[in-house]
Structure 1
């Protein structure tokens, strides 16, 4: 995703959050004042819930600015995890508010004080709250999905929780006005449990992201299948995905023809990376490891599983073949690693190749286990 698009998304997230904050202020003041004047404990609690939304809006603005910053030396993968952390704080705030409200509502429910019947203005404010919050939910969730922002989507559900809670409050106030005095306290308690459910969902979902939980299995399988359809890819393995602030970071091993050059293998990896970016909007970073064979069952922590490098091979062959081949006539030497063997292409200059020279080189005494096929070519 380009920085221009990131900046546009950041501006959109801040605009929708500020719009939500303004509506939250108006509704919070209205619900708290009317709740106190109209003797509706449920509406008053709903107003306090809206005030917690306001605190969440401030958090969203701050986190959106931080998470949109470019990667730097201290955060080479970017700042998206700040959005994840912010969402966890937002969910924790909901849980705290819900717990306090539940405690207060239970105390009031068992109190010996006489229940006071709410007045009609409480009904009107609750209805306006439902309308305002539902409109705000649809606006916010649309921006969140467009920007692939978990914290904006979480804030949208925060608005919807307000709308749902106001529905419960409306029913409770109406029932209390009809003579069911305890209905207002029950409504407040029900609202609190709903708030707690939303908060717990946000916390658990984003903790899973912080510990690098993989995206849904169907998404991972879709990515793997997409890469496998590339005709130059023989196998896809060691696919690892992780979520980061609404984005997907991908590490993958692909197996290609062992006879192609390093640059061709690298170019295949570049093409796959480009195709992934253009077909999966959520993929933000791709790291591809090019393999010439399946290596997912190889323990790379054991030195005996590592084949010798070029300088080690040449030094060994010079000693091994000293009585058969003068290395001064070797113009080029190519190594082809094939499972537990190294096949060798030798390009010789100014040298008459004997018919059985390849066999002599392959079957030399004290032959190392890694020495495979030897092919000879005369440089023209």
Structure 2
């Protein structure tokens, strides 16, 4: 299955699962008035909202390159993840407000019957499955939006546990545990939003890739038998993928056709590395003396050899 089909399939699965959870939690919230369950209903509602955003964003980001976007639409995906972060922060604020209001007013309702417990346990199991699935597909297809969704699902498991503690504690004679659990849920939701925001801002501002990948780019270039040196190696994220530019030194008596063949081989070799998208190679004739020491490249080679 290609990347576009895979990420869209996951997007529809996420939307369906979150719709089911918000209906179940909202029903229990309406029947019991439990703030812990209500906070989880709000959390799931925010999940539904950003699931729609994910589907729209994944549809756009998986479109092929066109005249206006010759390098594709991958940069849209980190923007989708930022919208996810905003939705998560909004949900966390709503949950915390409800918990603080209940603690201040003392108006706390206790969930009776097994329904709340069953729904929360089922929600936890669903979120564990979504966490594992989204992370696996997100890593396989290099999708920041799916990884962000996986992280959100992971923390949703923790918030479900907190809500469950609140419900059981309230039924055991400690009603204050219900709004306290809701407050704990809000903290977990805030943290998820921070994780998503932190991880995707770097994609938008063109952060350099990890040092080991940078070193591998240099190593693969130097490994070519006709390359005498490499310098001005620049690699940075363009959305979730990486663009690379570099200068190589070759023997000056090479014909234009030979130089072109060397360049093409270097480009293909580097493109085969994980996450690499576009590669731009500039060829310098070694005899012209344009070669210059590149401390960064030397350091990366040392790092690779350690």
TM-score, structure 1 normalization: 0.72
| 1:338 Cα deviation after fit | 4.0
One of 48, 56, 60 as aligned partner of 2:54: 60
One of 277, 280, 291 as aligned partner of 1:287: 280
Q: Distance in 2 between matches of 1:287 and 1:107?
A: 58
Q: Extract unaligned runs of 5+ from structure 2.
A: 292-306
Contact between 1:24 and 1:51, CA under 8 Å: does it hold in 2?
Answer: yes
| 1:76 Cα deviation after fit | 2.3
Contact between 1:84 and 1:244, CA under 8 Å: does it hold in 2?
Answer: no
State the secondary structure of the residue aligned to 2:105.
Answer: coil
Q: Distance in 2 between matches of 1:339 and 1:201?
A: 44
Q: Distance in 1 between matches of 2:88 and 2:210?
A: 26
Q: Distance in 2 between matches of 1:175 and 1:284?
A: 53
Post-superposition Cα deviations, 1:276-329, rounded to whole Å, max 9, x if no partner, equal 223x13111111111225xxxxxxxxxxxxxxxxxxxxxxxxxxxxxxxxxxxx
Q: Report the structure, 1 or 2, having the larger strand content.
A: 1
Q: Distance in 2 between matches of 1:219 and 1:160?
A: 28
Q: Distance in 1 between matches of 2:39 and 2:289?
A: 70
Compute the RMSD of aligned alpha carbons. 1.8
Partner of 1:251: 245
Q: Distance in 2 between matches of 1:10 and 1:267?
A: 32
Superposition pairs for residues 1-380 of structure 1, below 5 Å?
A: 8-113=2-107, 115-119=108-112, 120-278=114-272, 280-293=273-286, 337-339=288-290
Residues 112 and 41 of structure 1: CA distance in aligned 2, closer, same or farther (over 3 Å): closer
| 1:186 Cα deviation after fit | 1.3
Contact between 1:56 and 1:155, CA under 8 Å: does it hold in 2?
Answer: no
State the secondary structure of the residue aligned to 1:116.
Answer: coil
Post-superposition Cα deviations, 1:322-356, rounded to whole Å, max 9, x if no partner, equal xxxxxxxxxxxxxx74459xxxxxxxxxxxxxxxx
Q: Distance in 1 between matches of 2:203 and 2:183?
A: 31
| 1:151 Cα deviation after fit | 0.7
Post-superposition Cα deviations, 1:241-266, rounded to whole Å, max 9, x if no partner, equal 12233221111111222332333222
Q: Distance in 1 between matches of 2:65 and 2:170?
A: 56
Q: Report the structure, 1 or 2, having the larger helix content.
A: 2
TM-score, structure 2 normalization: 0.89
Which structure exhibits the higher relative contact order, with contacts defined as CA atoms closer than 8 Å and separated by 6 or more residues?
2
Q: Distance in 2 between matches of 1:205 and 1:20?
A: 20
Contact between 2:203 and 2:240, CA under 8 Å: does it hold in 1?
Answer: no
How many residue pairs match? The answer is 290
